[in-house]
Amino acid sequence: MRSSIIGKIEKANRYIQEPDRVMFQDFKLSFDGDHSAYSVSFTEGKMYCSCDFFSNWGMCSHTIAMQKLLGEMLPVEAQTAVPQYSLHPPTHSQLELKIESNT
C-alpha cells in the first residue's frame, strides 16, 4: 500500500515536468491587478477579463499574464496575445479615435 502511494507521487513529480500533458478547458479566477481585482475566465477556447481595457481591445495585461503563466497548458489558439478568433486587430482609425477620446 505504502509503496503504491510512493509510486503515485513519483509519477506526479514526473508529470509536473511535462506541463503539456495538462490542457485547461474552462476556468474562472480573480486577478489582483494594480488598480483593482478583475475576473478572468476561459471558456470554449476564449479568455475574457472584466477590465475596461479588455472590453475595448479583446486583450489586456491580465489575459496576457495568464497566457504566459499557463503557456502550453492552454490550447494553441488561446496562447497568443491577440485572440484572432474574437476580435480583429484595431484599425488605424480606431487607434486614433481612442487617443482622441482620452484627451
By beta-carbon proximity to Zn ion, the closer residue of 38 and 42 is 38
For the record, the C-alpha cell of 42 comes out as 476561459
Strands annotated E in 9-87: 26-32, 37-43, 46-49
By beta-carbon proximity to Zn ion, the closer residue of 22 and 29 is 29
- The nearest distance, CB 39 to Zn ion, in angstroms, is 9
By beta-carbon proximity to Zn ion, the closer residue of 42 and 54 is 54
Cell 510512493 locates to: 6
Is position 83 an interface residue for Zn ion (rule: CB under 5 A)? no
Interface positions, 40-59, toward Zn ion (CB under 5 A): 49, 51, 54
Query: Contact positions toward Zn ion, by CB under 5 A?
Result: 38, 49, 51, 54, 60, 62
